[in-house]
Amino acid sequence: MKGTADKQLYSILAIGILLIIISHWIPGENIINILPNGVAGVSILFVLSGYVVTKLLLEKRLAADAAHSHKLKIIKNFYLQLSLRILPIYYITLFLLLIFYSTPDVSRSAYFYFFSFTSNFYFYKIGTWAGIFSHLWILAAAVQFFLIWPWIILFTAKKYLWHVILGFVISGVIFQIALATTKLGNLLPFACFDSFALGALLAWTLVQKMEYKKIFTGVSVCALVALPLIVVKQLNPTLVYLPMRALLSIVVLWVIFYISYEQNNIVSFILNNKFLAFTGKTGYGLFLYHNFLPPFTWNFLQGINRHFPGITSYTGYLIFFENFIILILLSFLSWIIIEQPFLRLHKIIIAGKHGANAIGTTELR
């Protein structure tokens, strides 16, 4: 992600994470949650992840084919950077929670699922959420997708690749509908394939330089059909066979498609916002820490706020704001002290092994 495109994709990521935070921090009966904020945020993360990762892999595949280089090198470097990007703060956080936090909602044995990125299977197995750990299913589903996706993108015959990607979209929708009446069934990885694969389809059209207008018209029509269905689903949650995440993913796809080709528009103007771009850049920390922070800060902040008369009726909103400031600072420090050094380590390893222009180098920021 470079230049203006970097900033806009980071901003989209920030919006997705902020929607997830809103859905977790603000009570469901609040008017702001009349919108499907949590599902929309997850859809943004999944579609954007599928787009960014697939675009990188397709570009590296083209470069490897041109240089007659082995594609296993790309996979090795992809997994290396994925590990250095995700694992350090994730495992540090889990170890700290294991030592300093206990709750009847989560047994010690549940940490096996958290450490192995299989929390979505755990929640499905127990049929309920696990308090502050509940958001980890999103990361688990993404990691499970990333484990298989490079093999599909790099080794599927080119003429069949878009058929395979489309097959993942269709299978994801089918699984969502099939598991609609199964509690937390939509957390399973195969029920998330459609969102990731929609982003992948966009990446394929860009890298293959497909005809823009025809494809954009088709995506626009799908988004226009999806919007009223989203409204109907939100007003009638009992319509379980309307896959909300799939519908929202289509709208997210349209937004990313639009900004990928059209830079001079109101959407691009909003997405060029520096705060949004900064928030997206430190977004992994924001996402990871946001559910863990309130249990450690709530009583402390409540105690401080008691010393300020006249704000008692606004305590909940004030603590939300204070926690958000702390979360921003914590994520920034995490980015500077832990995440960036590990990303630099990947570049050092690659440069040492293959030289600065190695075919296998990828950037997952």
Q: Are 104 and 171 in contact (CB under 8 A)?
A: no
pTM of the predicted protein model: 0.92
String of DSSP letters for 182-195:
STTGGGSGGGTHHH
For the chain, the first-to-last Cα distance in angstroms comes to: 8
Closest among 187, 138, 189 to 21, alpha carbons compared: 138
- pLDDT tens for residues 17-29? 999 999 999 988 8
- pLDDT tens for residues 22-78? 999 998 888 898 999 999 999 999 999 999 999 999 999 999 999 888 899 999 999
DSSP state of 31: G
**Alpha-carbon distance 21 to 287, whole Å?**
8
- φ, ψ (nearest 5 deg) of residue 297: -115, -20
Distances (CA, A) of 6 to 10, 200, 212, 277: 6, 17, 21, 8
- pLDDT tens for residues 147-181? 999 999 999 999 999 999 999 999 999 999 999 99
CA 48 to chain centroid: 7
- pLDDT tens for residues 92-146? 999 999 999 988 878 889 999 999 999 999 999 999 999 999 999 999 999 999 9
Mean of pLDDT values over 74-89: 94
What share of the chain has pLDDT > 70, as a percent?
92
pLDDT score recorded for residue 117: 98
Distances (CA, A) of 339 to 88, 282, 364: 8, 9, 12
The token pair that represents 162 in the structure block? 């878009």
